Chain A
Amino acid sequence: MTDEKPELVPEDENVLRRIFSPYHINEDGSLKSSAFSPSTNTLDISVNREKIADFKKNCEIGRQEEQPSPDGNPVREKIFRGCIRGNVGEIHNTPVDQEKTLYCKVLATPDHENENPSHADLRLPKDSRGIRRKLAKIFSDLIKPE
């Protein structure tokens, strides 16, 4: 990451999120809202700017990050399932609360340490089940790798 104050990603861009967990995808390929649950102590969801790293590149990285299960237990294996895609303009302009006052932001946070200039953070105004649901509706279903 960088110490510089992150800038908003332009609204004409799309972002991709690589999906590894089978538990975040329904049987029909649609996305579960739990795919947007942030880890503890953060409100950021890692995504990648498609303009800098396209779908094919994300698939390459995803495959490189795959890990077999150490003991053959399929629950413990890490398999790249594909990507989901969201439009930054739609993310920035869709209110995520009933009062229509809260919005998500997509911030450019290039990861120089891991040589990932495309890295961005989808920052939630707060973690809530309603916000996860709205993000799941904004993002595409799973796009499987070719």
Chain B
Amino acid sequence: MNAFADQMSWHIYGSQPLAENRHINWESVGDALLHFPELVAQVVSGSNSSCYSIIDRHTALPVTLQDIERTGTMSEKLDTLLSEFSALEENWDGYDAKPINHFAINQTREFLSQLKNSIPEPSLAPDADGSVSIIWDCPHIYLDVGFDTNGRYSFYGDHEELGEFEIEPTIGAILSDQSLNKYLDKLAV
């Protein structure tokens, strides 16, 4: 694919056109493909311009370049945030909050890395008791998942069809929780 790079201008399928004469960095795309073998790049050539899209091999749906730049669901941005959380000291919120527990951070990393790529990126927040919250606040669904300092998970979901549901701190394999999976499935795009 690198052979195309210096021959023509490109714009991203379904996105704003790139600046004139700007080429797709096929090196980056190649890296993404290498990292995510379930993705394929599709090039569509037209008379005046060409487009490319990245297709999820399983769903046959296009995903955006932004999605590609994420390291699965565990993006560099989220990874950096979790590193920041681990550096927070006592009273980081001004109200005697506890430092964020490393076990909670590791569990958050593991959870995010196991989610399907089709699930949008959540926001993360530290909690005053030293745990971590993973929050999806979308128009049709709200989901707040967290890991506490004792290795337990909890979640609260609110969806227009599923309604409200809450699991209080529980020990176990979080991704085996069928209740949670119902909400995660609703998040998937």
Contacts and interface: CB of A to CB of B under 8 A. Distances in A.
B154 interface: yes
Nearest to B143: A129
Contact of A130 (B87, B126, B127, B164): B164
A140 interface: no
A46 B95 CA distance: 8
B129 interface: yes
A40 B97 CA distance: 8
B142 A75 contact: no
Contacts, number: 85
Nearest to B156: A129
B133 A78 contact: no
Nearest to A79: B94
Contacts of B160: none
Given A33-B133, A34-B125, A130-B166, A76 B87 contact: yes
B89 interface: yes
B128 interface: yes
Given A32-B123, A129-B146, A37 B156 contact: no
B95 A39 contact: yes
Interface residues of B, number: 36
B164 A26 contact: no
A23 B87 CA distance: 13
In which size bucket is the chain A interface? 20 to 34
Contacts of A73: 87
Interface string A62-73: 000100000001
Contacts of B135: 32-34
Contacts of B89: 76
A34 B137 CA distance: 12
Interface string B125-153: 11111110101010000101010000000
A30 B138 CA distance: 13
Interface of B: 81, 84-85, 87-89, 91-98, 123-131, 133, 135, 137, 142, 144, 146, 154-156, 158, 164, 166, 168
Interface of A: 18, 20-21, 23-24, 26, 30, 32-34, 37-40, 45-46, 65, 73, 75-76, 78, 98, 127-130, 132-133
